[in-house]
Amino acid sequence: MPTSATNQMEMEIAQVQNSLSHLFFTFSISFLFFSIIVLFLRSRPWCNCHICKTYLSFSWRSEFSNFSDWYTHLLKKSATGTVHIHVLGTTITANPANVQHMLKTRFENYPKGKQFSSILGDFLGHGIFNSDGDMWRFQRKMASLELGSVSVRSYAFKIVSTEINDRLIPFLRSISGRSNSGTVDIQDLFRRFALDTICKISFGLDPGCLDLDLPMSDFANAFDTASRLSALRATTTAPIVWKLKRFLNVGSEKELKHAIKIIDGLAQAVIRQRRKIGFSTGHDLLSRFMGAVQEQVDDKFLRDIVVSFLLAGRDTVASGLTTFFLLLSQNPAVAAAIREEIETNKKDGVLCPGQLNNMHYVHAALYENLRLYPPVQFDSKFSAEDDVLPDGTFIRKGTRVMYHPYAMGRMESIWGEDCMEFKPERWLRDGVFTPESLFKYTVFQAGPRVCIGKELSIMEMKTVIVAIMLRFNIDVLMSKEKPQFALGLTASIKGGVQARILHQS
């Protein structure tokens, strides 16, 4: 009996323990779920205003093919050129005075911010596009010294010219020689070209992407995926959602993690190769950077530099070239004027930087293209302290403040009633290219963060444009359709851009 009573007691104790364990587990799960709900509710205010309801219901899609077109519509209707998306905790502006206030006057109050760094941190790390303070200043100083040197610009021009003459032109010639006129996706073509050139300029590597018989590399696809999914994070009204998905390694966050693993693998291979070969005599940007900093930085920091170079040199150049030839197909008079200027300035079919500098109309047409289709359609900062913008808009501490180059290029208040026209002449004074204020033309940012690779990218795009137009007509098949942009950190057109390549007669 004592033994039986003892066993019964032990069983009862075990049952109580199991019940308590179950109760504790249930309580823990309930508390976690409740905490997530509270964080979700507190992360963004609920709002029933028309703009927020339109955003949350996606009803803007019934009228606008692109998110940026809806933003443009809102900003045009606003008396101040500024609107609020309350459920995102975001203020958006297309007012040049506000832009100058953010990017110059109160620069220190509008850093990228920890929120932005969190969104893009897995992809961009602490690279120049995703850092503030001393980290940003250090990278900015180093990059400015290298990109501003005559030797680097000469080295870059030589690489671009070689890539054009040895690969791009022969490929286009082979396409144009096909029966019934060959077609090609020029967006894919320019992405491959830009990846080849930036890898050569930045790392001394040749990925050989312009061999179009080969599929785009896993790395290039991973880079596109990382850009798209990182941008997706920024569109959610509750950051806790993507953070929880990342913690659980599910859905889009699992896909993003896989893409970043591929990117990290290539970056590490590039760095190892540089260390093995040596960087003291290398002309590429990474060798120069490593030689300048010596042992001051680790491979993780160099990895972030590699990714930043690629983002700046591949996606933006490819985007700019794609929309340029799209607009040119819609505006034959501009194409004719460009060819006339090229014929006037060319010398034995050989291009040099001096000749490119004399082509003011080409320069104006490129700037006009970037006005209408900036490769980076918007840029965000986070307010460090309460502030008031020049138009009277109150900005609470921690608010995401976005200026919108895409919308700014379509504002009548900035560019006049003909703002939607592709009109290179607006940039010319007595036939000479004359730039506008960077606070109204924000394609290259402005203030202390103005793009330091601007001259390099303009040189590359102008060289490609002139080389192609000397020899070919690019007839974009979708020239009458309004482009629809895919989600990403830089502008890319959904489904690609098919074009017919024809020999210039």
Beta strands in 315-405 (DSSP E): 379-382, 387-388, 394-395, 400-403
Alpha carbon separation from 279 to 204, 283, 305 (Å, rounded): 10, 8, 15
Residue 315: Cβ within 10 Å count: 24
Tokens of 326: 């799209």
Residue 34: Cβ within 10 Å count: 10
| Spatial separation of the C-alpha atoms in residues 264 and 275, rounded to whole Å | 16
Question: 84 by DSSP, 3-state: which?
Answer: strand
Q: Which residue, chain included where needed, has tokens 């364990």?
A: 21
Q: Which residues pair with 402 in a beta bridge?
A: 92, 380
451 known member of a binding site: yes
Alpha carbon separation from 286 to 161, 262, 280 (Å, rounded): 21, 20, 11
Strand arrangement, sheet containing 379-382: 82-85, 90-93, 400-403, 379-382
CA neighbours closer than 13 Å in the CB half-sphere of residue 303: 19
β-pair type (82-85, 90-93): antiparallel
Residue 391 CA to chain centroid, in angstroms? 28
| Spatial separation of the C-alpha atoms in residues 217 and 448, rounded to whole Å | 36
What's the CA angle centered on 331, arms 494 and 161, to 5 degrees?
75
CA neighbours closer than 13 Å in the CB half-sphere of residue 344: 12
Does the CA dihedral 194-195-200-203 come out positive or negative?
A: positive
Residue 3 CA to chain centroid, in angstroms? 75
Residue 414: Cβ within 10 Å count: 19
Alpha carbon separation from 21 to 17, 249, 335, 411, 427 (Å, rounded): 6, 27, 76, 63, 74
The total number of residues shown for the chain amounts to: 505
Contacts of 502 (CB under 8 A, 6+ apart): 176, 181, 472, 473, 474, 475
Q: Which residue, chain included where needed, has tokens 């507190």?
A: 42
Q: Which residues pair with 347 in a beta bridge?
A: 350
- Per DSSP, 179 falls in state T
Contacts of 27 (CB under 8 A, 6+ apart): none
Q: Which residue, chain included where needed, has tokens 């985007």?
A: 319
Q: List binding-site positions for heme.
A: 451
Q: List binding-site positions.
A: 451
